[in-house]
Homo-oligomer: A and B are copies of this chain.
Amino acid sequence: MVAVVGGGQLARMMAAPATALGVTLRVLAESPDASAARAAHEVVVGLPGDANAMADLLADHVPTVLTWEHEHIPVAAFDAAGERGVPARPSLGALRYAQDKIEMRTKMDALGLPNPPWAEVHGADDVAHFLRAHGGEAVLKTARGGYDGKGVRVINSVADAAPWLAALATGGPRLLIEERVDFRRELAVQVARRPSGDVRSWPVVESIQRDGVCAEVIAPAPDLGPRLDEEARRLATTIARQLGVVGVLAVELFEREGRLIINELAMRPHNSGHWTIEGCVTSQFEQHLRAVLDLPLGDTSPVAPWTVMANVLGGERVDLASSLVAVNDPGAKVHLYGKGVRPGRKVGHVTVSGSELASVRARAAAAAAIVADGGVT
């Protein structure tokens, strides 16, 4: 049995490979109607900061391993697992680099891996100094708690930073400031690592963001060339090994002038890897289960020349029946997350594979847009 903290779509999509492998999937979901609650084999309702909920998650048939589908995990949750002798994978020693961007940047520097210029922000002076040194524009981030564009803002003046600086002064989250990388495009690479050390990587993908949210993933990244593909995979493998990650690691990258710069880390299945469900022999969800269970890792080869994933960003409503009728594309693989719909929220995704990129991409985008509009064309 695998216990997962978090009831979102990432836990939900672990259910299918868990069933295939004959592994029981027990999730800690924030509510009984969370995305993963229906799909999982067993559900405990609660939050990882709640000792009773953690006790229930780890009780009865004691799980073989505890894992996470998001980074917002309090230390107490690791302690709860440790007390019961259930290994937590990834461990706190690894996960803290995905939880805290200052820890991450500091560690990447120490390992000599490619960060953008960055600094911790203790007050307005640090912001002013960094802006002067970097052309008057920078990216301000909270060290913890951000996702999908939250906790990140582009600033052009100290005044732009004022609300977060005020929060910092009164005990708010620590802040860091980074160069606004003038990138050609965003890439992502995923690897999975077993406790025994075995690592496998997937092909590098291009991710296309809109309003700070991933809209589209193209696999493999077009015209990347073997040098950058190899370099990105080696970079992610190094991070997984050096940080002791167990499970799936996603590294978001900027490509600038033929070089890679690290943007973010995630130590769990990741939106940039949803394409692997249909697009690869082994999906990121199956591989995460295999890795945290210390089972042999699966083949990460792609099964089609091109696979494109487009997120369904919620419109007014999502209605399966009218959507599938309107999509009218028998090769569009629709994944709905069973979440309440609100504008801009990720409520599903569509994957299309094929041999001609332009057509595959257009089909995925068209299908996702139709599903997002509830089948209204």
Contacts and interface: CB of A to CB of B under 8 A. Distances in A.
Interface of A: 12, 15-16, 19-24, 38-39, 41, 200, 278, 281-282, 290, 293, 295-299, 301, 303-304, 318, 320-321, 324-325, 327-328, 330-331, 333-338, 348, 353
A338 B331 CA distance: 31
Given A20-B334, A41-B39, A333-B20, A293 B321 contact: yes
Nearest to A38: B41
A254 to B, nearest CB: 31
Contacts of A333: 20, 281
A20 B331 CA distance: 14
Contacts of A328: 296
Contact of A20 (B295, B303, B327, B335): B335
A12 B19 contact: yes
B299 A330 contact: yes
Given A281-B331, A330-B282, A20 B298 contact: no
A22 B338 contact: yes
The 4 tightest CB contacts between A and B, nearest first, are: A22-B336, A16-B16, A299-B330, A299-B331
Contacts of A320: 21-23, 295
Contacts of A330: 200, 281-282, 296-299
Contacts of A293: 321
Contacts of A321: 293, 295
B337 A22 contact: yes
Contacts of A348: 22
Nearest to A326: B296
Given A303-B303, A330-B297, A330-B298, A19 B39 contact: yes
Contacts of A327: 296
A11 to B, nearest CB: 11
Contact of A15 (B16, B24, B290): B16
Contacts of A290: 324
Contacts of A23: 320
Given A19-B15, A19-B38, A325 B304 contact: no
A112 B92 CA distance: 69
Nearest to A12: B19
A318 B335 CA distance: 31
Contacts of A21: 320, 324, 334, 336
A281 B22 CA distance: 24
A370 B336 CA distance: 36
A211 B200 CA distance: 40
Contacts of A19: 12, 15-16, 38-39, 338
